[in-house]
Amino acid sequence: MGARSKARKRALDVLYESAQRSTDPMATLRERLAQSDPPVPQYAADLVEGVVAHGERIDELLSTYAEEWTLDRMPPVDLAALRIGTYELLWCDDVPDGVAVSEAVELVGSLSTDESAGFVNGLLGRLMSLKPSLAV
């Protein structure tokens, strides 16, 4: 697993933990950075910060394009991966679109339900196809 893949997993851990504890993701990130066990790579911190900074728009897009699914119905791991994937897809110019999608799919494929990979792939694929017309 590459360094960025590990960082994505660590960012997902922070976002998931924050959601489960109903705490601010930035507070959880600060705790994990202070603990440093396991370490939080800089790219993981960047992802969490980006997801938080663009959280309202990310959730708006996910809500709009997740047909027949509300955010509160999505498994928390899937939602964290979707948020990371959406952030990378729309705001990280150094990450190829296909990589943003496939990395999110890989995360849920190993951590979530059997249906999660298809759902995440479909939703992020839709956002990727609409990317030129999305105001971010």
**pLDDT tens string 22-76:** 999 999 999 999 998 888 999 999 999 999 999 999 999 999 999 888 999 999 9
CATH of domain 3-131: 1.10.940.10
Is there a contact between 106 and 5 (Cβ–Cβ < 8 Å)? Answer: yes
Q: When comparing pLDDT for 17 and 38, which is higher?
A: 17
pTM here?
A: 0.96
Instruction: Give 121-126's long-range contacts (Cβ < 8 A, gap of 24+).
Output: 123/62, 123/65, 123/66, 123/82, 124/82, 124/85, 124/86, 124/89, 124/100, 125/101, 126/65
Could you count the other beta carbons within 10 Å of the beta carbon of residue 67? 8
- Summarised one tens digit per residue, pLDDT across range 78-134 is 999 999 999 999 999 999 999 999 999 999 999 998 899 999 999 999 999 999 998
Q: Strand, coil or helix: what is 100? A: helix
Confidence of residue 8 (pLDDT cuts 50, 70, 90): very high
